[in-house]
Chain A
Amino acid sequence: MHLAYPTVLSVLLFCVGLYGVLARRNAVLVLMSVELMLNAVNLDLVAFDAWLHDTLHAGQALTLFTITVAAAEIGLGLAIVLMVFRARGTADVDRLRDLADDGAAAHTDTMAPPTDNQPARPDGRATAA
Chain B
Amino acid sequence: MTVTAFARASAAAHAASHAAAAHAAPRALAAAPTAGDLSGKGHAFLSPTGVEIVFVLVGLAVLGTAVLSVTTKQLVHAALWLVATLGGVAVEFLLLTAEFVAWVQVLIYLGSVVVLVLFGLMLTRAPIGRSPDADSGNRWVALGVALAAAATLVTLVVDAFRSTWIDLAPGAGSTAANGVTLFRYWVLPFEALSVLLLAALVGAVVLSRRDGRGGLNGRGGLNGRDTQKER
Partners in one complex: yes
The residues of B that contact A56 with a CB separation of less than 8 Å are 181, 185-186
Q: How far is the CA of A93 from the CA of B150 in the complex (A)?
A: 25
Residue in B117, B142, B154, B197 whose beta carbon sits within 8 Å of that of A8 in the complex: B154
Q: How far is the CB of B16 from chain A (nearest CB, A)?
A: 12
Give residues 33-82 of B contacting A (CB, 8 Å).
Answer: 43, 45, 48-49, 51-52, 55-56, 59, 62-63, 66-67, 69-70, 75, 78-79, 82
| A97 in the interface (beta carbon within 8 A) | no
User: What is the total of A-B residue contacts with beta carbons within 8 Å?
Assistant: 278
**CB-CB contacts below 8 Å: B93-121 with A:** 93, 95-98, 100-101, 104-105, 108-109, 112-113, 116-117, 119-121
Known interface pairs A4-B158, A24-B136, A28-B117. Does A50 touch B173 (Cβ–Cβ under 8 Å)? Answer: yes
CB distance from A32 to the nearest CB of B (A): 5
Q: At the interface, is chain B mostly helix, strand, loop or mixed?
A: helix
Interface members, chain B 168-191 (any A CB < 8 Å): 168-169, 172-173, 177-178, 181-182, 185-186, 189-190
A68 touches B161 (CB 8 A): no
Q: A11–B134 contact, CB under 8 A?
A: no
- CB < 8 Å neighbour of B145 from A18, A39, A71: A18
Known contacts A15-B150, A23-B142: A32-B82 contact under CB 8 Å: yes
Instruction: Kindly state whether residue B13 has any CB partner on chain A within 8 Å.
Output: no
Tell whether, in the assembled complex, residue B69 and residue A22 are in contact, meaning their CB atoms are under 8 Å apart.
Answer: no
B149: A residues at CB distance < 8 A = 14-15, 18
Known: A18-B146, A64-B104. A8 touches B157 (CB 8 A): yes
Answer yes or no: B162 CB below 8 A from chain A CBs.
Answer: yes
Measured CB to CB, the nearest residue on chain A to B133 is A120
B31 interface residue (CB < 8 Å to A): no
Q: Cα distance A47–B167 when bound, in Å?
A: 11
Question: How far apart sit A14 and B186, CA to CA, in the bound complex (Å)?
Answer: 27
Q: Which of A39, A47, A61 contacts B186 (CB 8 A)?
A: A61
Count of interface residues, chain A, beta-carbon cutoff 8 Å: 79
Given known contacts A12-B150, A32-B82, A74 and B116 CB-to-CB distance under 8 angstroms = yes
The smallest beta-carbon distance between B196 and chain A, in angstroms, is 6
Our pick among B92, B143, B157, B186 for the contact of A23 (Cβ within 8 Å) is B143
User: What are 19 A-to-B residue pairs whose CB atoms are below 8 Å?
Assistant: A2-B48, A5-B55, A9-B59, A9-B92, A11-B154, A13-B62, A23-B70, A23-B135, A24-B136, A26-B75, A47-B166, A51-B166, A56-B186, A60-B98, A75-B201, A78-B116, A92-B133, A113-B227, A120-B133
- Residues of chain A having any CB pair with chain B under 8 Å: 1-9, 11-20, 22-29, 31-33, 35-36, 39, 42-43, 46-47, 49-51, 53, 55-57, 60-61, 63-65, 67-76, 78-87, 91-94, 113-114, 117, 120, 122, 125
Could you list 6 further interchain pairs (A-B, Cβ under 8 angstroms) beyond the known A3-B166, A75-B204, A76-B207?
A1-B95, A6-B55, A14-B153, A42-B105, A64-B104, A78-B117
Chain B residues at the A interface, C-beta cutoff of 8 Å = 43, 45, 48-49, 51-52, 55-56, 59, 62-63, 66-67, 69-70, 75, 78-79, 82, 85-86, 89, 92-93, 95-98, 100-101, 104-105, 108-109, 112-113, 116-117, 119-121, 123-126, 133-139, 141-143, 145-147, 149-150, 153-154, 157-158, 161-162, 164-169, 172-173, 177-178, 181-182, 185-186, 189-190, 193, 196-197, 200-201, 203-204, 207-208, 216, 222-224, 226-227, 230-231
